[in-house]
Amino acid sequence: NAGVTQTPKFRILKIGQSMTLQCTQDMNHNYMYWYRQDPGMGLKLIYYSVGAGITDKGEVPNGYNVSRSTTEDFPLRLELAAPSQTSVYFCASRAGNYGYTFGSGTRLTVV
Amino acid sequence: KQEVTQIPAALSVPEGENLVLNCSFTDSAIYNLQWFRQDPGKGLTSLLLIQSSQREQTSGRLNASLDKSSGRSTLYIAASQPGDSATYLCAVTNTGNQFYFGTGTSLTVIP
């Protein structure tokens, strides 16, 4: 049971480039979330999904897009990378009213 | 919008001491509250989950309490050890399925 898997673990992007952060869970969880964590700061919710085909914005959605075509996958898309998007990104999932499982994170640097 | 606050922001204690970490939240309409541990440069590890109908949960040397009406939770760590040094985060799931984190308490246990 792999839990929540995020790829890649590290990435350096140039300003204006685009990329997709992958998140996959094998626990059949309905709810999935994307967070970013800036140095010395708490985690901020970017987008979340309550099930396949349903997504919604969190606190800091600008500059990002998501999709949820399957229960397992919840990719996060950055279209035009900006230095302000340098952060560590975490994906999480949960089922019903149970606790959350987090991926190990993707460390992104935009230069 | 849910606001989650953790006090203190940092704490340093000698090994063996019992300690309490505090978490407060502004909107009492929550599904649950979860405590996490985060080691430097690592992901989040779930410690305890308290459902909104529960008052406390225990796991080993850890005890978490929840007072939903006053918007507070505490994490009690008994007989602290150097291996407990980490950042501790609390997070609440509100009835809109969003999940909000506090800014964390950085704990250092001195041998």
Q: Which residues of A touch B106 (CB under 8 A)?
A: none
Q: What is the pLDDT of residues B15-25, one digit of tens each?
A: 999 999 999 99
The count of other CB atoms within 10 Å of the CB of residue B75 is 22
**Four-residue CA torsion sign, A96, B40, B23, B16:** positive
Q: Answer yes or no: do A105 and B32 touch at CB < 8 A.
A: no
Mean pLDDT of the A33-57 span: 91
Q: Answer yes or no: do B101 and A31 touch at CB < 8 A.
A: no
Burial track A62-100 (b if 16+ CB lie within 10 A, e otherwise): eebebbbeebbebbbebeebeeebbbbbbbbbbeeebbb
For B107, list phi and psi in degrees, rounded to 5.
-105, 130
Q: Answer yes or no: do B97 and A31 touch at CB < 8 A.
A: yes
CA-nearest residue to A5 within chain B is: B43
User: B residues 30-89 near A, CB within 8 Å?
Assistant: 31-32, 34, 36, 42-46, 49, 51, 89
Q: What is the mean pLDDT of chain A?
A: 93
Cis peptide before B111 (omega within 30 of 0): no
Task: Answer whether residue A5 shows pLDDT above 90.
Answer: yes
Interface mutation target, options A43, A55, A88, chain B, most CBs of B under 10 Å: A43
Q: What is the pLDDT of residues B40-94, one digit of tens each?
A: 888 889 999 999 999 999 999 999 999 999 999 999 999 999 999 999 999 998 8
What is the pLDDT, as a whole number, of residue B103? 87
What is the pLDDT, as a whole number, of residue B1? 78
What is the pLDDT, as a whole number, of residue B35? 96
Mean pLDDT of the A56-85 span: 96
From B104, B107, B100, B106, select the one nearest B25 (Cα to Cα): B100
H helix or E strand, kind and range, residue A77: strand A76-78
Interface mutation target, options B6, B53, B99, chain A, most CBs of A under 10 Å: B99
Q: Which residues of A touch B24 (CB under 8 A)?
A: none
Q: What percent of chain A has pLDDT over 70?
A: 98
Q: Answer yes or no: do B104 and A102 touch at CB < 8 A.
A: no
A and B: number of Cβ contacts within 8 A: 52
* B109 touches A: beta carbon within 8 Å: no
Mean pLDDT of the A99-111 span: 92
CB-nearest to A102 from B44, B51, B104 is B44
